[in-house]
Amino acid sequence: METFETILSNYLIPAFMVLFVVISIIIILNRFYYEERKLIKDNIDFVVNDFFARVLFHTKIDELDDEIKKFKKEIPYRKTWVKRVLMEKIITLKKNLKGKSSESLIAIYEKFGLLKYTKSLISDSRWHIKCKGIYQLQILEYEKGQDLIKPYLNSSNEILRSNAFIAYLSTTSKSIDFLGDYKQSISLIDELKFVDLLSMKKFPLPKNIDKWLASSNVAIVRIGLKFIVYHNNTEYNKLITGLLKSENRSIRHEVIKAIESLQIVNTEDILLHLFPNEDKLNKIAIISALSKIGETNTLKYFEKYFKENQDSIDTDIKIKTVECIQKIDAGFLENSFKDNLEIERIKNHLANKTLA
C-alpha cells in the first residue's frame, strides 16, 4: 500500500504544479487580451471622437452618408461593443448640444442604423437592458421610437414603467390627453420630472384636463393641477376649489398651492375652515396662500388663534402666521399684538432675515 508521502510526491505535487502552470498561463493570456482590447478600444475612442468633431460642425446632413461610409471602414463597426461606444458618444453629445448639432446627431443615429441596436436592447428579456434602450430614445427625444416605448407604460415592473413614462413624454410632441385615463401609479420623482419636461416642451393644456382633476389616480390629479398652474389658467377655479374636499391630503396640498399661484380670492373662508384640521405642511401652505389672498377675515382669525393657542402653536407655524399678517396689514400686526413679547421677537427675526 502506498504511503501518503509517495502519493504526495508522485501525484499531488505534480498535479498542483500543472494546475499552477495552467492558471498562470490563463492569467497571462487574460492580461494580454485585456491590454490588447484596451489598446483597440482606446484607438476606437480616438477615431470616434475625431469623427464627431469633424462631421458635427463641418458637414451638412445631406453629406453625412459619404463620411459614415468612410468611417465604417476605419472601425470594426459590426461588433456590438463598437455600436455601444458610438451610442454612448451620441448620448453624451445630445445631452450637451442643441440646435443644428442636435439635429445632426439624430441623422447620424439613423444613418448608422443604431435604431436597430436600440430595438435589440428594448426587446431583451431583462428589464434593466430594456431600460437602457428606452433611455436612449428618451435622451435623443426620438419621436419615431414612441411605439417601442408605449407597451411598457403599463408594465408590471415599476422601474421599467417609470422609465417608459418619462421617455414617452420626452419623445412626444403630440397631445398627452391620454394621461387622463392613466391608471398606473406615478412616483413623486416622476411627477417632478414631468414638471421639468412641461417647462422644456411646453405641452399645451390637455383638452380633457377636467378629466385629469376627476381621476382616481392621485398623481394624475396633482399633475393636472400643476398643468393648470403652469398655464396660469383660471377657467377651472371652481373645479380646483372643489378638490379641497378631497380625502387625500397630498391633493389638498396641491390645491392650496394652486390657489396661491392662481390667487383664487374667493377661497379665503374655505381655507380658514380647513386650517385647524390639517397637518403642519398643509397649515403652512394655507398660511402662505392666505398671505396672497387673505383679507380682514384672515387677520381676525389669526388674532384669535394666537390668543387662544399661543403656547401650543408650532414655532414654524407661528413665524409663518406673523409673516402672513404682516404681508396683509403691517399696521394690524403692530396694533393687535403690542404686549406680546414672542411676536415682537418673531418680527425682529423676520426683519433681520429680510435685511440678510
CA angle 169, 80, 75 (to 5 degrees): 115
Kindly state whether residue 146 falls inside one of the protein's structural domains.
no
Give the model's confidence band at 6: pLDDT under 50 very low, under 70 low, under 90 confident, else very high. Answer: low
pLDDT of 33 > 60? The answer is no
Contact 223, 197 (CB under 8 A): no
Pairwise CA distance, residues 175 & 4, whole Å: 82
Q: Report the candidate in 342, 294, 285 with the shortest Cα–Cα distance to residue 317.
A: 285
* pLDDT reported for residue 355: 44
Last residue in a domain, options 112, 132, 147 = 112
Return the pLDDT at 80: 86
Q: Would the pLDDT of 354 be above 60?
A: no
- What does the pLDDT read at residue 9? 61
pLDDT of residue 31: 58
Angle at 295 between CA 291 and CA 298, to 5 degrees: 75
Give the end of a domain, one of 50, 78, 112.
112
Burial of 231 (0-12, 13-18, 19+ CB in 10 A): middle
Please give the share of the chain, as a percent, with pLDDT higher than 90: 56
What average pLDDT does range 146-169 have in this prediction? Answer: 95
pLDDT band at 284 (very low <50, low <70, confident <90, very high): very high
pLDDT above 60 for 2: no
| Res 273: pLDDT | 96
What confidence tens digit (pLDDT) does each residue in 150-159 have?
A: 999 999 999 9
b/e sequence 293-304, b meaning 16+ C-beta within 10 Å: bbeeebbebbee
Q: Which among 61, 88, 112 is the end of a domain?
A: 112
Confidence of residue 341 (pLDDT cuts 50, 70, 90): confident
What is the per-residue pLDDT across 103-142, written as a single tens digit (0 to 9) for each?
888 988 998 899 999 999 999 999 999 999 999 999 999 9
Q: Is residue 80 part of a domain?
A: yes
Enclosing domain of residue 91: 1-112
User: 99 or 154, which is more confident?
Assistant: 154
pLDDT level of residue 96 (50, 70, 90 thresholds): confident
Q: What are phi and psi of 77, to 5 degrees?
A: -60, -30
pLDDT at position 19 is: 67
- Whether 129 maps to a domain, the answer reads no
Of all residues in the chain, the percent with pLDDT exceeding 70 is 87
- Flag whether 149 is in a domain: no
pLDDT at 18: 62
Question: Which three cell numbers, joined as nine digits, stand for 59?
Answer: 458637414
Count of the separate structural domains present in the chain: 2
pLDDT of residue 16: 66
Residue 204 pLDDT class (50, 70, 90 cuts): very high
Average pLDDT over residues 75-86: 84
Note the pLDDT of residue 300: 94
Q: Tell whether 205 is covered by a domain.
A: no
106 is a domain residue:
yes
Q: Tell me how many degrees the CA angle 113-36-40 measures, rounded to the nearest 5.
A: 30
Which pLDDT does position 36 carry in this prediction? 43
**Angle in degrees, CA 169, 175, 181, rounded to 5:** 80
* pLDDT score of 288 more than 80: yes
Does residue 179 sit within a domain? no
The whole-number average pLDDT for the span 76-98 is 86
Q: 101 in a domain, yes or no?
A: yes
